[in-house]
Homo-oligomer: A and B are copies of this chain.
Amino acid sequence: MAEKKPSIHDIARIAGVGVGTVSRVLNSQPNVADATRERVERVMAELDYRPTFAARHIRTGRSQLFGFVTDQVLTTPFAHDLIRGAQARARQADHMLMVIDADGDDRVREQAVTNLLERGVEGIVYAAMFNHGVHLPAALREVPTVLVDCYEVARDLPSVVPDEALGGREATERLLQDGHVRIAMITNDALSTGYPAAVERFEGYCQALEAHGVTFDEALVREGLGSADSGYRHTRDLLDLELPPTGFFFGTDRMAMGAYFAFAERGLRVPHDVSVVGFDDQHYIADALRPALTTMALPHAAMGRWAVEHLLTASWGEGRPPVQHQLVCPLVERGSVGPVPAEPGRKG
């Protein structure tokens, strides 16, 4: 029964041709007579022949394989888009992806890179999240590498990240556009961390205010932690202000979710009484809220695609400084932004 897999030599022998000819058929090269090609193909189909990739790899030196190291991002629903984008682009170029989750463990990360190099990957995508600085294993330098949603602190590796500032600006402008002026911003992390995901979204907020001639009010800015609970608490605080904000811009959808509960407690309706814009487009949350949440989408699929594209097409090893690419975060309009309510306390 379980006879071993046929090799190219078996095919050649049975079809009565040389191995070279079989190889030519396999690779759809010209200079094979139609009759011969057909005969070889028939034999291959007959025996259920499948070429062994490793053999090709060893001879040609091309593995047609990229490593995809995820760090914390796999814990999130974002991973899907990231991997899908990367995989789709890789497939177009007949490459495969080898995904390893480093899970924040240095030893595992190191090991992962070593394993990938032994497997002969032609490039590595290193995907993290929160657009933060990282220090990568030195071994990564042996092979083209692209960073996704993070960057090497030395800026000596190409990276692709969301345009956080532009996203922050557009989110704020969406609220301004509907007449909101008292707009709160709850950052997704302490600004002191220096994470672009926190700092630049906030800067975008400031830019938007300035561009529209709205004076910045420090009381409306809170440093959140990203969690639903954090959103809930800061929202309660903000609602306790003498002149509470009418528009809320949260650095994460999770905080916006927490805010919905704070609004419900106070009997405030979205978007009738308060307007909300989130960030991240975690659709499990954003779609599920009532009303659904208007938010800025992180371009994960695009980043994944871009990373592989760059591995495939960039000229490596040259002197110029590596690209630090930014991709726009599209506004996803749902139902949480509306016009500024008439202010009951200000009638007279």
Contacts and interface: CB of A to CB of B under 8 A. Distances in A.
A96 B115 contact: yes
A74 B79 contact: yes
Interface in A83-109: 83-84, 87, 91, 96-101, 103
Instruction: Work out how many copies of this chain go into the complex.
Output: 2
A201 B71 CA distance: 34
A254 B118 contact: no
B80 A101 contact: yes
Interface in A127-181: none
Given A99-B99, A290-B232, A80 B74 contact: yes
A258 B288 contact: yes
A118 B52 contact: yes
A96 B287 CA distance: 36
A261 interface: yes
Interface in A203-241: 227-229, 232
A121 to B, nearest CB: 10
Interface string A270-291: 0000000000001011011110
Nearest to A4: B61
B83 A118 contact: no
A54 interface: yes
A55 B60 CA distance: 12
Contacts of A58: 52, 54-55, 58
Contact of A50 (B103, B118, B257): B118
A57 interface: yes
Interface in A44-88: 50-55, 57-58, 63, 74-77, 79-80, 83-84, 87
Q: Which of A74, A232, A260, A287 counts the most B-chain CB atoms under 10 A from its CB?
A: A74
A91 B228 CA distance: 35
A33 interface: no
A98 B101 contact: no
A242 B77 CA distance: 40
A117 B74 contact: no
Contacts of A261: 260, 264, 290
A146 B80 CA distance: 22
Contacts of A96: 98, 100, 115, 119
Contacts of A51: 118
A330 interface: no
A285 B258 CA distance: 11
B118 A53 contact: yes
A317 interface: yes
A2 interface: yes
A87 to B, nearest CB: 6
A119 B94 CA distance: 13
A174 to B, nearest CB: 23
A179 to B, nearest CB: 27
A100 B99 CA distance: 9
Given A50-B117, A97-B100, A98-B98, 7 more contacts: A50-B114, A54-B54, A54-B119, A76-B80, A87-B101, A96-B98, A284-B285
